[in-house]
């Protein structure tokens, strides 16, 4: 299973998210930073994955560290998008999935367009645990 693809599908299914970043193939939800940025957008990065094998070698659970960045033109817009993402992922707390928000922090990045303007980010670090069968 590709965790980033699964998270993207969950976010695309959530209207509070797609009202902000668009829907379907036009949704600005990426698995890497795009060369040209049009905010608001979401970037999902899988920072590492570890399997938890049983004694017989079978893998039942996988733990993955994921960073999700919500970027917007203003701090308020970034925070609104972050709340929508958190709400969408809160529904993953089932027998087969769990999503734990380790931390969330605001940031700002220069636009690098020759101006003094900045992008506003809300950066979240999650630990996802999911069943290999999920």
CATH fold for the domain made of 3-111+118-131: STM4215-like (3.30.2000)
- 4-50 per-position pLDDT tens digit: 999 999 999 999 999 999 998 899 999 999 888 889 999 999 998 88
Q: Averaged over 63-90, what is the pLDDT?
A: 95
The answer to whether residues 97 and 128 touch, using CB atoms and an 8 Å cutoff, is: yes
In the chain, at which residue ranges do the beta strands (DSSP E only) sit? 29-30, 41-53, 59-72, 97-110, 118-131
Region 57-74 average pLDDT: 89
Q: Where do the structural domains in the chain lie, given as residue ranges?
A: 3-111+118-131
Sign of CA dihedral 47, 21, 25, 129: positive
- At residue 57, the pLDDT reads 67
How much is the mean pLDDT over the chain? 89
Residue-wise pLDDT for 42-52, tens only, equals 999 999 888 77
Radius of gyration of the chain (CA): 16
Would you call 52 helix, strand, or coil by DSSP?
strand
The model's pTM = 0.89
Mean pLDDT of 43-68: 84
């Amino acid at each position: 299973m590709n965790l980033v693809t699964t998270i993207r599908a969950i976010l695309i299914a959530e209207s509070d998210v797609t009202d902000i970043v668009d829907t379907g193939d036009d949704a600005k939800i990426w698995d890497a930073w795009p060369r040209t940025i049009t905010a608001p957008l979401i970037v999902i990065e899988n920072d590492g994955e570890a399997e938890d094998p049983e004694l017989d070698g079978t893998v039942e659970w996988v733990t993955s560290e994921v960073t999700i960045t919500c970027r917007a033109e203003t701090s308020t817009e970034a925070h609104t998008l972050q709340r929508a993402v958190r709400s969408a992922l809160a529904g993953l707390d089932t027998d087969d999935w769990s999503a734990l928000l380790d931390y969330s922090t605001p940031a700002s990045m220069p636009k690098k367009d020759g101006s003094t303007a900045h992008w506003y980010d809300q950066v979240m670090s999650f630990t996802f645990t999911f069943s290999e069968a999920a």
